[in-house]
Amino acid sequence: MGYVWAITASIFYALYVVPRKFSRAAPEVYTYFVGLGFFAFAFLNFIIDGASASFADVRLFATAGQGVAWAFGTILFMIGIDKVGLVKSRQWHRAIAYPGGILLSLLILREHSVMNMFWFGLAFATVLIAALLFTIREGETVRELGRGIWFSIAAALVFSICSPLQKIGAPADLHAQQLVFSASIFITIALWLVVRRRPMGELLQIGRRDNLLAISGGVMYTFASIFTIQAYRLMTASLASTILQLMSVWSILIGIIWFKEISWSRHKWRIVAGTVATVAAILLTLKV
pLDDT band at 196 (very low <50, low <70, confident <90, very high): confident
d(Cα 62, Cα 161) in Å, to the nearest integer?
A: 10
d(Cα 59, Cα 177) in Å, to the nearest integer?
A: 9
Check: CB of residue 116 under 8 Å from CB of residue 288.
yes
pLDDT > 90 fraction of the chain, expressed in percent and rounded:
46
Among candidates 40, 90, 60, which has minimal Cα distance to 166? 60
d(Cα 175, Cα 51) in Å, to the nearest integer?
A: 9
Mean pLDDT over the full length of the chain: 86
Contacts (Cβ under 8 Å, ≥6 apart) of 142: none
- Highest mean pLDDT out of 134-143, 159-168, 253-262: 253-262
| Neighbouring C-beta atoms of residue 212, cutoff 10 Å | 16
Predicted pLDDT at 84: 92
DSSP character at residue 23: -
Predicted pLDDT at 31: 92
pLDDT band at 104 (very low <50, low <70, confident <90, very high): confident
d(Cα 154, Cα 161) in Å, to the nearest integer?
A: 12
pLDDT at position 241 over 80: no
Report the pLDDT averaged over residues 103-114.
66
d(Cα 217, Cα 240) in Å, to the nearest integer?
A: 22
pLDDT at position 223 over 70: yes
Per-residue burial over 49-68, b if 16 or more Cβ lie within 10 Å, else e, is ebeebeeebebbebbbbbbb
Report the half-sphere exposure of 123 (CA within 13 A, side-chain side).
27
Predicted pLDDT at 112: 53
Contacts (Cβ under 8 Å, ≥6 apart) of 267: 136
d(Cα 162, Cα 184) in Å, to the nearest integer?
A: 13
Domain boundaries defined on the chain: 2-285
| Neighbouring C-beta atoms of residue 111, cutoff 10 Å | 17
Among candidates 274, 267, 269, 268, which has minimal Cα distance to 252? 274
Predicted pLDDT at 113: 53
d(Cα 288, Cα 277) in Å, to the nearest integer?
A: 17
pLDDT band at 235 (very low <50, low <70, confident <90, very high): confident
Q: What is the 3-state secondary structure (H, E, C) of 138-149?
A: CCCCHHHHHHHH
| Neighbouring C-beta atoms of residue 140, cutoff 10 Å | 16
Predicted pLDDT at 111: 58
DSSP sequence for 34-64: HHHHHHHHHHHHHHHH-TT-----TTHHHHH
**CA separation, residue 288 to residues 103, 144, 230 (Å):** 12, 36, 21
d(Cα 140, Cα 268) in Å, to the nearest integer?
A: 19
pTM: predicted TM-score of the whole model, two decimal places: 0.87
Q: Checking phi first, is residue 260 left (phi over 0); if not, alpha (psi -120 to 50) or beta?
A: left
